[in-house]
Amino acid sequence: MKPRIMVTRRWPAAIEHVLAERFDTTFNQSDAPMSLAQLKAAFLDFDAILPTVSDKLPAAVFPDAEVRTKLLANFGVGFSHIDLDAARERGITVTNTPGVLTDCTADVAMSLLLSVSRRAGEGERQLRAGLWPGWCPTHMIGTKVTGKTIGIIGMGRIGKATAKRAHFGFDMDVIFYNRSKVDDEEIRAMGARQLPTIEDVLARADFVSLHCPGGAENRHVINAARLGGMKRGAYLINTARGDVVDHDALIEALEAGKIAGAGLDVYDGEPDVPPALMCMENVVLLPHLGSATEETRADMGMRAVENLTAFFERRPVPDKVA
C-alpha cells in the first residue's frame, strides 16, 4: 500500500504529478493555509504531511493521542513554523529543502538592496501615477551601492551567496556576524571579515542584510537598541524571517530617520504587513518572493519528494532537521 500523504498547498504541477504517482496523495484543493484544527486532524489520517512556511505547526497542533504521521516533509528551507520538540516527542521526523533556494533568495536580497537605495519603488510609483517631472540633476537622488560595506548577519548558504553577489558584482566590502567561526575558502577569497558581535557589524555597515533563521532564538535580533546602533544613513534588508526584526522598533527608526530605509521580503505575522510600513516611500516591500522562481520551486518540490521517498523506503533521509 502506498503511504498516505497530505499536501497542504498546491505545488508546481509537475511535482504534484510525481507525488500523485508515488504516494496516495491528498491535496488541499482550496490552496489556502490549513486551520490548526485541520492540521491537527491530518496527524491522525496521514503517514506524512507536507507543510510550507504558511502552515503554523506549534506544539498545540500536535495531537496528544497516538498519531499516524511519521514525517513532516517541509517545502522550504526555514522550519521555524514547526515545533521540532513536539515532533521529536512523538517520534516524527522533520525534513526541509536546503541548498536549492540559495541563489534565488540571495538575488532577492540584492534586488531589495538596489531598489531601496536607488529609490526604484518610489520612482516607479511616481512614474505610474503620471507625476514624473522629467529628468533633472536633483530628481530622486539615491545612494551609491558600489564600493560600500555590506554587513551580513548569519553567514550560512544564503548569507554567503548574497556576500558573493555584493562583493564580486558591486565591489562591496563584506563584514559579517555568525554565531560560530566561519573558516571558508570562498569567504577568504572575498576578503570578508567576521566580527565578534552583531553590534560591530551594525556600526560599520552601509547595508545590513539578515540571513539568520527565525524562531525563538533569533526573535527580534534587530531591536530598538540595535537599530539605534546602525550607521546613520544605513539600510536594512530582510529576506530571512519576519520575527528576526522588531517591526515596531523598525518603524520608529525609519520615522526618526535613524536609518535611511529598509527592503523587506518577510514579515512577522505575514501576510499581514504593518500599515505604517506601507505608507513609507523609503521602504521596499515584497510578498515573500525569495524562492519564487519556476526553477527553484520545482527543485524544492523534488527535494521534498526525495526526502519522502527515502523515508518510506527506509533509507537515510537527506535533509533531516529533527
- DSSP string across 83-128: -HHHHHHTT-EEE---STTHHHHHHHHHHHHHHHHTTHHHHHHHHH
Pull the grid cell for residue 146: 558600489
Name the DSSP class of 9. S
Q: Is 53 in the site for ligand DGY (CB under 6 A)?
A: yes
Quick check: is 17 catalytic? no
* Nearer of residues 76 and 159 to ligand DGY, judged by Cβ: 76
* Nearer of residues 45 and 295 to ligand DGY, judged by Cβ: 295
Q: Is 291 in the site for ligand DGY (CB under 6 A)?
A: yes
Instruction: Give me Rg for the CA atoms of the chain.
Output: 21
* Nearer of residues 178 and 291 to ligand DGY, judged by Cβ: 291
* Nearer of residues 149 and 296 to ligand DGY, judged by Cβ: 296
Quick check: is 313 catalytic? no
Among candidate residues 160, 23, 177, the one with its CA nearest the CA of residue 103: 160
Give the integer Cα–Cα distance in Å for 284 and 277. Answer: 9
Pull the grid cell for residue 82: 514547526
Catalytic residue among 16, 199, 252, 270: 270
Among 7, 71, 72, 77, binds ligand DGY (CB under 6 A): 77
**H or E stretch at 248:** helix 247-255
Pattern 80-119, ligand DGY, x by CB under 6 A: ---------------------x------------------
Catalytic residue among 9, 165, 167, 241: 241
**H or E stretch at 238:** strand 235-238
Pattern 226-265, ligand DGY, x by CB under 6 A: ----------------------------------------
Q: State the residues that interact with ligand DGY by CB under 6 A.
A: 53, 76-78, 101, 290-291
